[in-house]
A and B are shown apart, each in its own frame.
Chain A
Amino acid sequence: MTEYLQSTFLGPEIGWLVATLALILLIALPLMLAVAMIIYVDRKIIAAVALRRGPNVVGPFGLLQSFADGLKVFLQETIIPSGANKGLFLLAPIITFTVALLAWAVIPFSEEMVLANINIGVLYILAISSLGVYGVVISGWASNSKYPFFSAMRAAAQMISYEVSIGFILISVVLFAGTFNLNEIIKAQEGHIFGFVNAYGVNPLLFPMAVMFLISSMAETARAPFDLTEAESELVAGYQTEYSSMSFALFWLGEYANILLMCALNVILFWGGWLPPVDWEPLYAVPGIIWLFLKMFMIFFIFSWAWATVPRYRYDQLMRLGWKVFLPISIFWVFLVSGYVMIDKFGWPL
């Protein structure tokens, strides 16, 4: 598409710009649709665990519930508290939403369907996900209110803590695959186990990492059981307390876009991305994007399942899990993985 537009009257530079903009919209708009649907799925799963029906009134099976909610929120009035820092108050949801969209630029949906196939994809993801905390912290401070401020403090501490172990987990996968490029990481998983299973997660050396990454990604996106930033029994709605209308909706959209991103990352790093689950010829007839979505859905189901089942962590337990359990284990595992990779590549040293 880029080449085609560059060859028309637009010329190479403007053609590239137009093509890239079109591709960005091609990712962002379906993503918004996916977020709307995944909120519905989330509510249905949690309802099923609680033996309720969940949303079932708007549209067939309640499928249009999220759109009805969106419309309702859109028509409401935006209220800015008089004590708030107005500029930052409005900037915070925009940052959250933008950052949640940014990281999707490097996600490979299939072998060719990737907007920016850069050779530091993993680092890019790490960099962008470390920006996510700013929306929360700024909103908490700019609201000029006690509960949002507590929530912002919690969020800053929580996200930094879990980013450390996420970094080590990413490094071990990078060591195994030998590249920072997400597409190459997926390709390296082809026939990884006995030349048959397309997943790093099944490797006994990486399976603990896969589990830790799943839990860390729940903590990183502040999903239950780690949703201390918006623990409704303690902090009303956390950093979103003072927000209304579209500014509130932007937080909501950004949060779910982040959750979907983390699902995609789980799939790409450990479960083979757009590859079919096993290396069997007929399965490759199914487009890669469908495998990716199926696997993302499985991971998202685990997210919802955990939300519905596990009670919220206490703050000290959350910090203990991050610093005293995940960090030492992940450092030790990086040591193990790098040792294995060295022996695998260069033979036994003696």
Chain B
Amino acid sequence: MQIFAFYLFASIVIASGAFCIFARNPVHSVLWLILAFFNAAGLMLLVGAEFIAALLVIVYVGAVAVLFLFVVMMLDIDFAELRAGFMKNLPLGLLLALVLLAEIIFGIGAWSAGGMGEATAVVGPPAGGPSNIEALGTLLYTKYVFIFEAAGLVLLVAMVGAIVLTNRKRGGVRIQNIQEQVARRPQDATRNEQPEVGKGVEL
């Protein structure tokens, strides 16, 4: 059963990764990417890292990819222009692909040379011990607390930076003051007048 699930998830990840690259429509690409994320989460579940799987779905599928989709859908895409850039960037792309391939080959070589046996043998949390979340939390908030907080600070700086870069004063914006709007009463906004025939109302 596990073998079957593994091959199912793995083949879907690889296939949707390929479709993500080959799809002509960028929106289709993003959707294939989402499918790849989702099945990668399934693979994480199989190795017993259920917390990582949940994080993958919540963070990548639920938030990052939605924003991707949001942006890609709004774009006005010129397909001819997209293809024109293909030949120009081909050498760079091939170089990157070579580097990645070399890394994978090195990785497999180092792994099959041995020495990492203990690291690969452990699958999932030990039975009866603390669950993944507890173990991760204990480590993050005791041993690695400073690194963890530093990572948080880096994210905070990135967020402040993004806000500073995009926040600009715009003229001619009508700001809605909602407290004022909610506090408005009929007697402040309307009045009841009964003008005589032929005479208008002063507004």
A138 near B51: Cβ-Cβ < 8 Å? no
Q: Which residues of B contact A316 (CB under 8 A)?
A: 176
Q: Which residues of A contact B61 (CB under 8 A)?
A: 127, 130-131
Given contacts A137-B69, A160-B63, contact A124 B54 (CB under 8 A): yes
CA distance A123 to B45 in the complex (A): 13
**4 interchain residue pairs of minimum CB distance:** A130-B62, A123-B54, A127-B57, A127-B58
B54 near A163: Cβ-Cβ < 8 Å? no
**Smallest beta-carbon distance B43→chain A, Å:** 15
- The verdict on A19 contacting chain B, using a C-beta distance below 8 Å, is no
**Smallest beta-carbon distance A138→chain B, Å:** 7
Q: Which residues of B contact A2 (CB under 8 A)?
A: none
Q: Which residues of A contact B176 (CB under 8 A)?
A: 316-317
Given contacts A120-B54, A123-B54, A316-B176, contact A133 B31 (CB under 8 A): no
Q: Which residues of B contact A131 (CB under 8 A)?
A: 57, 61-62
**Could you give, for residues 131-158 of chain A, a 1 whenever the CB lies within 8 Å of some chain B CB and a 0 otherwise?**
1011001100100000001001100110
B178 near A320: Cβ-Cβ < 8 Å? yes
B66 near A137: Cβ-Cβ < 8 Å? yes
Set B66, B73, B74: member contacting A160, Cβ < 8 A: B66
- The verdict on B7 contacting chain A, using a C-beta distance below 8 Å, is no
How many residue pairs bridge A and B at CB < 8 Å?
Answer: 67
A130 near B58: Cβ-Cβ < 8 Å? yes
**Smallest beta-carbon distance A336→chain B, Å:** 19
**Smallest beta-carbon distance B99→chain A, Å:** 33
For residues 122 through 142 of chain B, which have their beta carbon under 8 Å from a beta carbon of chain A?
131, 133
**Could you give, for residues 34-75 of chain B, a 1 whenever the CB lies within 8 Å of some chain A CB and a 0 otherwise?**
100000000000000011001101100111001101100110
CA distance A128 to B57 in the complex (A): 8
Q: Which residues of A contact B69 (CB under 8 A)?
A: 134, 137, 156
Q: Which residues of B contact A133 (CB under 8 A)?
A: 62, 66
CA distance A133 to B68 in the complex (A): 13
For residues 1 through 54 of chain B, which have their beta carbon under 8 Å from a beta carbon of chain A?
1, 27-28, 31, 34, 50-51, 54
- The verdict on A243 contacting chain B, using a C-beta distance below 8 Å, is no
The interface size bin for chain B is: 20 to 34
**B residues in contact (CB < 8 Å) with A:** 1, 27-28, 31, 34, 50-51, 54-55, 57-58, 61-63, 66-67, 69-70, 73-74, 131, 133, 176, 178
B31 near A127: Cβ-Cβ < 8 Å? no
- The verdict on A3 contacting chain B, using a C-beta distance below 8 Å, is no
CA distance A159 to B54 in the complex (A): 18
B57 near A130: Cβ-Cβ < 8 Å? yes
- The verdict on A119 contacting chain B, using a C-beta distance below 8 Å, is yes
- Count chain B CB atoms within 10 A of each CB in A13, A130, A160 and give the residue with the most: A130
CA distance A78 to B107 in the complex (A): 52
CA distance A120 to B1 in the complex (A): 22
A152 near B178: Cβ-Cβ < 8 Å? no
**Smallest beta-carbon distance B137→chain A, Å:** 11
Q: Which residues of B contact A180 (CB under 8 A)?
A: 133
CA distance A317 to B178 in the complex (A): 8
B54 near A130: Cβ-Cβ < 8 Å? no
A123 near B51: Cβ-Cβ < 8 Å? yes
A138 near B58: Cβ-Cβ < 8 Å? no
CA distance A16 to B4 in the complex (A): 15
**Could you give, for residues 222-242 of chain A, a 1 whenever the CB lies within 8 Å of some chain B CB and a 0 otherwise?**
000000000000000000000
Residue of A whose beta carbon sits closest to that of B34: A134
CA distance A133 to B69 in the complex (A): 11
- The verdict on A88 contacting chain B, using a C-beta distance below 8 Å, is yes
Q: Which residues of A contact B34 (CB under 8 A)?
A: 134
A13 near B1: Cβ-Cβ < 8 Å? yes
Residue of B whose beta carbon sits closest to that of A12: B1
* Pairs A–B under 8 Å by Cβ, sample size 14: A88-B31, A118-B50, A120-B50, A120-B133, A123-B58, A126-B54, A130-B57, A130-B61, A130-B62, A133-B66, A134-B69, A138-B31, A152-B73, A153-B73
